[in-house]
Amino acid sequence: MEHLPYRPCAGFMLINADGLVFVGERIDPSAHGYWQMPQGGIDPGEDIAAAALRELEEETGIAASLVEVLAQTAAPLRYDLPPELLGKVWKGRYRGQEQHWLLGRFLGEEHHIDLTAHEHAEFRSYRWIEPHRLPEVIIPFKRRVYEALLEEFAPLLG
C-alpha cells in the first residue's frame, strides 16, 4: 500500500442560509447508509476550485453561479482506504485520497438541486444537517478528514 499514490481530489462543503451543511446519501451499495459532501477527482491540469465547483454541479446540479465561495483548506487532507477496499476502488491505482476542500454558501433554492443532473448520479437523496454532525454520518475511514474540516472552517461556520 505504501508505494501507491494518493488520488488528487476536490470537495465542497456547502452551507445554506441556516448554517446547515449539504450531505448526500451515496448510491454505491458498499457505502449504503452513509452520507457525504460532494467530492471527486481532480483532472490533470485542472484548478482546485474549478474541480470542486465541477464536482458540486455534477453531483447536485447546483451551478457555480449559485454559490459564494468562502474559503479553501490551507493544505490537502489525506485518508487511506481500509484494507478491504484497497485494490478494488479506482482500479487499485491509489491508496486513498488527497483532498482539497472549499467552503461555500448556497445562494439558490431547493428547486436548484437536482441529484440526477449528471449521467452518473452519486447520491440517492440529500439533506441539510448541523455541521457538528458530519463525522457521525460519513463512512468511518473518512471521519478524520471531516473532523479536520470542521476545525479549519469553524470560524466561518458560526
A 10 A CB-CB count for 135 gives 16
Map residue 156 onto helix, strand or coil: helix
Q: Residue 158: its pLDDT value, please? A: 77
List average pLDDT for each run of 10 residues in the chain, which is 158 residues long: 90 98 90 91 96 97 98 97 84 91 98 94 96 96 97 94
Pick one of 3.90.79.10, 3.40.50.300, 3.50.50.60, 3.30.930.10 as the CATH number of 6-157: 3.90.79.10
58 near 118, Cβ under 8 Å?
yes
Cα 150 to Cα 112: distance, rounded to the nearest angstrom: 26
Distance CA 36, CA 50 (A): 20
Task: Sketch the domain layout of the chain as residue ranges.
Answer: 6-157
Q: Which three cell numbers stand for residue 145?
A: 478528514
Write down the pLDDT at residue 97. Answer: 94
| pLDDT for the residue 30 | 72
